[in-house]
Structures are given as structure tokens and as C-alpha cells.
Structure 1
Amino acid sequence: MKKALLQLHLAVFLAGFTAILGVLIKLNEGLLVWYRLLITVVTLFILLHLKKQLQKIALKDVLKFFGVGAIVAMHWVTFYGSVKYANASVALVCFSATGFFTSFLEPLILKKRFVFIEVGLGLLAIAGIYIIFDFHPQYKLGIAFGIISAVGSALFPIFNKEFVKRFTPQTVTLYELGGGLIALTLLVPFYLMQFPAAYYLPTHTDWLWLLVLAWFCTVLSFDLQLNALKKISAFTANLTYNLEPLYGIIMAFIFFKENETLNYQFYIGVGLILLAVVLQMGRVYFQAKRPLQRV
């Protein structure tokens, strides 16, 4: 159990580290994500082929995977756009709005009842983002990118609920990221017209950090999470992943001294977001304990 928890926290740490890499990699965000997808898809394909774990799927499912993959690509591009047009801390704060959008989108898409407590907690997080938005006007474009990223982050897990019932997580990841790679290959020329790149081929330093991003923060993080889920519940994993923005913000403060450029309103906003996360974690925890108390 201790090993599984260590693996899970390492996976969350690696996920939080992606924002730091977004600062270190100087490529335009569209190209950054394209290279990340390319390296990850090739690596996963080779690994699954060697392990004989490649699953054949029907064409209609391939198209569905590719659609979700396009959403994943959009989420990543806008997330790194938020990092580059604001900073890592602001991007991670905006990422916390995922819960708010999930509380609205999941009932609409899956035709479920609205959980008004979750909507209220989501609004609390949005209030925190608004405070940061209002007092840091220089980050408005980055915050807009971050909010779009949060919408994408809320959408693709909703669609994935159907897929994981019928396919292995490795298959879902490979086909979705493959779809994201194809979608971004078609769209990135138009994106670069609006947000031009200073250069197109990664430097030696960019290649180093891209490999870290693809191999460690994507493939290894994914593998650690899967191994951890063999010993711990999905509930514990989801709860732990709420720490991802916090880990990332702490690393941004350590590596880039971003705390020196942020005023006290940023911390008020972060405080509201953390309050929403803590209340939601407590709510889910006590709901999970209730059935055990009846036994």
C-alpha cells in the first residue's frame, strides 16, 4: 500500500511539473504540444507493440477516440498558452476551474441530475479566478487560455467514461493521443497564423525538456498511476490529483520566483480555490465513508 501511494504521489508530482516544463521549453505552445504528442504516441506504440498489448478496434470507435483526442490537444495547447501568456502559477490556478465546468457539463452530456453543492463549490473557485483576473490585467490573455483549457480538461474525462468500460486504459490513451496528433497537425498551421512562432524546430535544450515531458510526465506518470490503481481505489487517486495545481504552484515559486511578481490578491484567489478543493475533498471523503458505517 505504501508503495502504491508513493507511486501515485510521484505521478501527481510529475503532472504538476508539466507547467514548469512549459516555461523551460521556448517553443510556441502549438508546436510544443505537437512534438509532445508525436514523442508520446511513438513511444506508447512501440511499448504496446513489444508487450503485445495493442487492441484492434472498430472504425466508429476510432473516430470517437480521435474526437476526444482533438479535445485533449486543445486542452494542452491552451494550457501551455496560459503558461506562456501569463505564467505557470496563473495557468495552474485556472486549471482548478475544471471542477466548476465538470459540475455543469457532466449532467448536460450524460443527462444526470445537477449536484448543486458541486456547482456552488465550482463558483467559489471561479470567484478566486475572477479576483486574480481583475487584479492582474497583464495576464488576461493567459487567463482566457487557462479557462478554455479547464473546459477541455472537464470534457474529455466525461467522454472517456464510456471508453474505459470496453477498452484498456493503454488503448484509450494511444488512440486518443494519436487522434490529437492528427487533429493538431491539421490545425496548427492556422493556429500559428494567429499566434506566430519565433522558430519551428526545437533547440537541443527544447528536445531535452520535450523528452522529459513526453517520457516522464506523460508515459511514466500514466504507468505509475495505473500501477497505483492496482492497490488503491479510484476515489483515493482522484482525491490525490486535486494536489496537482498546488504542487505546480510551489514548484513555480521555487524555480522561477513567481511569487515575487504576484500581489496579495493572487493569494486571496488561490485561498478561495483551495477552500473549494478542500471542501469537495471532505465532502467526497465522508460520502465514501457512509456505506462502510452501515455495514
Structure 2
Amino acid sequence: MKKALLQLHLSVFLAGFTGILGKLISLNEGLLVWYRLMITSVSLLILFRIQGSLKKLPWKDILPIGSTGVIVALHWLFFYGSIKYSNVSIGVVCFSLTSLFTAIFDPLINRRRFDIREMLLSMLTLLGILLIFHFDTQYRTGIILGIISAMFAALFTVFNKRLIKRFDTYNITFYELSTGFVVLTLLMPAYLYTFPTASLLPSSMDLIYLLILSWCCTIMMYLLAMNALKKISPFTVNLCFNLEPVYSIILAFVIFHENKLLNNAFYAGLACIILSVGLQMLRVARGKALA
């Protein structure tokens, strides 16, 4: 249990850098996600081949795993779109709504009763988002994209919880991300036609940021998170990832000086989100939120 929580919080810490890197990378959100998936898939293929840990799966198993990979690709696409249309702080705070969507999707998909405590905790997060959305009208497009991103993130975690009962984390991670890469590659011509960009190739600094994003904030982060899912419920994992905004916002304040762009409503909303995380961590400590 303690090891799972440690792995979970380390993965959250790594996730805190994804928003910062998304802002630093000059590519649009579509190309950013495409390069991230490509670098990650190729790196995993080489790593797992060397280790001999990658297994060839039949198509009937690849289909559910690959479908979950498409969901995570969509999550990233809307997440970085949210950051590009607003800023890092807004984008990562909207990600906190993942816990609300998880509290709804998990019982529906896994056919269990709704947990009233999960719903109440999620309402705190929703209140925080509503405070920001109501008063920060200039960022509404980014907020809407962030909410859609949170929906896909919730679905990803719920489906992953089911997959890790049948497959090891190495195979899940590789087949998910490689399938996401293939599907996004097929969609890229239409995407670039709809959202044209001046440059298709990353700059030298973009490439460095993409490598950090792919190796540290994707491969390492997802392996840690999925190992934690073996002991901890999907709702708790997603609610713990609500700490990601705290790490990202601190970095955004230091690097981009975003504190000058945010008002009191943002901080009030952030306080609600932090409170929901703290209360859930108290439940976990008492052993009430295990799957």
C-alpha cells in the first residue's frame, strides 16, 4: 500500500511537468502529441525488446488495449489545446475534473453503486472549476477544451483498471501508445488541413523538450501510475492527479510569471481542488478507498 502511494505520487510529480513542456514546445497541439507518441512508442519498442518483456498479443486483446490508447491520445490533444488557448495554470486546473468524471464513469462502466463520498468530493473540484470559469471569461475556450480532456482522462483510467487485471503494464503501455500513434498518424492530414501550421518539424529546443516529455513524463510516469492502479482505486488515482496542477502552477509562476495573469477567483477555485485532494488522501490513509 505504501509503495503504491509512493509510486502514485512520483508519477503525479512527473506529470506536473507536462503542462510546462507543452507551453515551451512551439509546435501546435496536434503535432506535439504526434511527436510525443512517436518518440515514446519507438523508445518502448527498443527498451522492451532489449529486456525481452514485450509479448505478441492476439488481435482480440490488442483491440481493447489499443482503443484505450486512442482515448489517451485524445486526452493529450485536448489537454495541450487547452494550454495553447489559455495558459498552463488554467489547463492543468481543468484536468482536476477527471475525478468527477471518474466518479460517474467508473460505476456505469464497471456496474457498481455510485459512491456518494466520491461524488461529494468531486463537487468540491467542480465548484473550483466553476469559480474560475465564471470570473475568468478570457480563458473559456481553454477551459472547455480542458474539461473535454478531463473526460477522456477519466475514461482512460477506468479502462486501464480493467486491463491491468489481464495484462502486464509493459504490454499495456506499449500497445496503448503505439496504437494511439498509428490512429493519430492516419488523422494528421485532415487535422493539419483544418489547423494549418507554418512548421511541421520541431526546432532543436523543441526536440530536447519532446525527449524529456516522452521519456520522463510519459514512459516513467505511466508505468508508475499503472503499477499503483494494482493496489489503489481509479477514483483515488485520478483524484491524486489533481495535485498535478499544484506542481505545474508553481512552475508556471516561476517560469512564465502566470501569477500576474490570474485573479482571486482562480485561487479560490484552486483552494477547493486542494481541499478535495486532502480529504481523499485522508480516506486513503484510513483504508477506505482501496479497490
Q: 5 Å matches for 1:207-286?
A: 207-222=207-222, 241-286=241-286
Q: Does 1:186 align with 2:190?
A: no
Task: Say which is worse superposed, 53-62 or 37-46, in terms of deviation.
Answer: 53-62
- Give the SS at the match of 1:212: helix
Task: Say which is worse superposed, 44-53 or 239-248, in terms of deviation.
Answer: 239-248
State the TM-score, normalized to the length of structure 1.
0.89
Q: How much has 1:237 moved relative to structure 2?
A: 7.2
Contact 1:73 1:180 (C-alpha < 8 Å) held by counterparts: yes
Contact 2:161 2:234 (C-alpha < 8 Å) held by counterparts: no
Q: How much has 1:284 moved relative to structure 2?
A: 3.0
Contact 1:89 1:249 (C-alpha < 8 Å) held by counterparts: yes
Task: Say which is worse superposed, 39-48 or 54-63, in terms of deviation.
Answer: 54-63
Task: Say which is worse superposed, 238-247 or 41-50, in terms of deviation.
Answer: 238-247
Q: How much has 1:217 moved relative to structure 2?
A: 1.2
Task: Give the match for residue 139 of structure 1.
Answer: 139
Contact 1:28 1:198 (C-alpha < 8 Å) held by counterparts: no
Aligned residues: 290
Task: Say which is worse superposed, 216-225 or 22-31, in terms of deviation.
Answer: 216-225
Q: Does 1:83 align with 2:107?
A: no
- What one-letter code is carried by the residue in structure 2 that aligns with 1:46? I
Whole-angstrom CA distance in 2 between matches of 1:14 and 1:110? 29
Q: What is the CA RMSD across the aligned residues, in angstroms?
A: 2.8
State the TM-score, normalized to the length of structure 2.
0.90
Q: How much has 1:159 moved relative to structure 2?
A: 1.0
Show structure 2 runs of 5+ residues with no match. Answer: none
Q: Does 1:36 align with 2:36?
A: yes
Whole-angstrom CA distance in 1 between matches of 2:236 and 2:140? 34
Which has the greater radius of gyration? 1
Task: Give the match for residue 153 of structure 1.
Answer: 153
Contact 2:70 2:179 (C-alpha < 8 Å) held by counterparts: yes
Write the deviation string for residues 112-166 of structure 1: whole angstroms up to 9, x where unpaired: 1011221122122112111111111111111111001100110011111221112
Q: How much has 1:287 moved relative to structure 2?
A: 3.8
Q: Percent identity among equivalent residues? A: 54
Whole-angstrom CA distance in 2 between matches of 1:67 and 1:231? 24
- Give the SS at the match of 2:139: helix
Task: Give the match for residue 293 of structure 1.
Answer: none
Q: How much has 1:215 moved relative to structure 2?
A: 1.3
Whole-angstrom CA distance in 2 between matches of 1:192 and 1:276? 39
Contact 2:22 2:80 (C-alpha < 8 Å) held by counterparts: yes
